[in-house]
Structure formats: structure tokens, C-alpha cells
Amino acid sequence: MSELNTKLVIGNWKMHGCLARNAVLLNTLAHGTQQWSEALRIAVCVPFPYLAQTQELLHNSRIAWGVQDVSAHTEGAYTGEVSAAMAAEFGATFALVGHSERRAYHQENDPAVAAKTHRALEVGLTPVVCVGETRAERDAGRAEQTVSQQLQVVLDTLSVEQAMRLVIAYEPVWAIGTGRNAQAHEVRAMHAVLHRLLTAADDRLAHVPVLYGGSVKPDNARELFAEPGVEGGLIGGASLKAEDFLDICAAAD
Ligand code: PEP
């Protein structure tokens, strides 16, 4: 687990936003974090059409930005797809890959997530590899197995140098958008599993940050971020409200 005492908080806007509301949100975030130490890293992952706006409004701020998905392909006849290189052209730093909503609604399997991870790495983006079990998998006692396999399939395709550039997000599917975050002890246990898997692959992966995501709110962020092995959060709904997102970031500082 990361020995550096830095946390990373990433907002995932999902398919929300419009130019006018984004402008207010982004300007408020940029202004609200101006005086904060550089130790806390903050980013927002926005819908593709808003990358240019986000770049324009955040480029002088301490907040990075990214995308919520990238194509598994580099370039070509893939109508509707957006490549990692295109996102990078707009200054993106992060790319979520394998978010549970992509896995559930777009049939993304582990090899596809691995391919997307490679496309992101190739152009210098930091892939945020999302893993997490469903309620049924947890109830069946298969949470650790599911999550471990999701990460292992990706790790098996990467060199250690590539894997060192990952961020992992543990997001139990049953906690996403439900208002029911995982309990601190559940988060601690799964983060320990993920950190063990990383260091079993190579000691140098001890520094790969593992974020928690799933109904993080201002009133539970401090407790969740204080758990050992939790290096920050991936924040969905609450990242759309400037005040809530700033409070959550402050809880990580
Ligand atoms: C997410 O979309 O990654 C997420 C964690 O959503 P929420 O915070 O709304 O549960």
C-alpha cells in the first residue's frame, strides 16, 4: 500500500452535465481548491463532449481531468468510439476503465478492460481500473474471488513498469448509486486483498493507489478514507455538487 501520505479523489460525472451547469461546477471547484496543498490529488472524469470545456476551465487549476471510458482500439472504423489518444489531446490525465456500468450495460469483460487499459497507457493516460462484486456475488461468498480475478486478468497482460502506472478503484456494484456504502471493515478487507494481489505480482506495485467508490458522501468520506489501504475515492453522484465534492476532497486532505 502507498507509503506516501497522498490521497487521490476522482469525480465521475457519468452521463450528467450541460455547458452552463458544468461551467458553474468547474469554476467553483477550481476556485475552492486554489489554496489547497498539492499533496491531495483531485480529478474529474467528464463526458467526452465536455473535455474541451473542462480543459479550458481547469487548465490553470490544481484539478486534473479525464474520461469515463476509452475504446479498446487505437483507431479505425469503430463508429461511436472515442480513442484514448483523442482524450489525451484534450489534456486528459485519467481514464476510467471497466466501470461496473460499462461492464453491465455494454458487456465489457475482463479482456476488454485489459485492452482499454493498454490503450490508455500507450498515450500516457493513467488508467483507473474499476473492479467490484455484485450483491449476489458477495452473498454467495465470492466477492474476493470476483474482484481478484477482475484485477488479475488485467495485471497478467502488463509489465511491472506498466502496472506501476495504474490506479485501482474498488467499487462494490451494490454500493454504486444506492446510497448504501460498503462498511469500513468490508472496504478494509477488500483493499487488503487488492494490495496483496498487487505486491504478489511485484513488490514495486506496493505504491499503486487503491481507491474506494460507492456512495461516498461528505458524511462518510472521512471514515472510509481513514481505513488502511484506502488511498482515496472515486465519487459518482456527489461529484456533481460542488459543495459535496469539495467536502469529500477536504476529508481526504
Ligand atoms: C461511481 O459512479 O463510480 C460511483 C461510485 O457512484 P456513486 O458515488 O454515486 O455511488
Q: What is the pLDDT along the chain (253 residues), one digit of tens a residue?
A: 444 568 999 999 999 999 999 999 999 999 999 888 888 999 999 999 999 999 999 999 999 999 999 999 999 999 999 999 999 999 999 999 999 999 999 999 999 999 999 999 999 999 999 999 999 999 999 999 999 999 999 999 999 999 999 999 999 999 999 999 999 999 999 999 999 999 999 999 999 999 999 999 999 999 999 999 999 999 999 999 999 999 999 999 8
CA of 107 from ligand 1 middle (Å) equals 19
pLDDT at 39: 85
Confirm whether 195 is domain-assigned.
yes
pLDDT at 1: 47
Active site residues: 99, 171
Q: Which of 215, 244, 245 to mutate to test the pocket of ligand 1 (most atoms within 8 A of CB)?
A: 215
* CA 235 to ligand 1: nearest atom: 8
Is 0.85 surpassed by the pTM of this model? Answer: yes
* CA 217 to ligand 1: nearest atom: 8
Confirm whether 1 is domain-assigned.
no
3-state secondary structure labels for all residues of the chain: CCCCCCCEEEEECCCCCCHHHHHHHHHHHHHHCCCCCCCCEEEEECCHHHHHHHHHHHCCCCEEEEECCCCCCCCCCCCCCCCHHHHHHCCCCEEEECCHHHHHHCCCCHHHHHHHHHHHHHCCCEEEEEECCCHHHHHCCCHHHHHHHHHHHHHCCCCHHHHCCCEEEECCHHHCCCCCCCCHHHHHHHHHHHHHHHHHHCHHHHHCCEEEECCCCHHHHHHHHCCCCCCEEEECHHHHCHHHHHHHHHHHC
Confirm whether 172 is domain-assigned.
yes
Confirm whether 68 is domain-assigned.
yes
CA of 76 from ligand 1 middle (Å) equals 31
Q: Which of 176, 181, 230, 245 to mutate to test the pocket of ligand 1 (most atoms within 8 A of CB)?
A: 176
The residue segments making up the domain with residue 38 are 7-252
| Domain containing residue 97: CATH number | 3.20.20.70
- Provide the domain count of the chain: 1
Confirm whether 2 is domain-assigned.
no
Residue nearest to atom 8 of ligand 1 (CA): 236
Residue nearest to atom 2 of ligand 1 (CA): 236
Confirm whether 45 is domain-assigned.
yes
Q: Which residues line ligand 1 (CB under 6 A)?
A: 12, 14, 171, 176-177, 213-216, 234-238
Residue nearest to atom 7 of ligand 1 (CA): 236
pLDDT at 36: 85
* CA 99 to ligand 1: nearest atom: 3
CA of 206 from ligand 1 middle (Å) equals 25
* CA 233 to ligand 1: nearest atom: 5
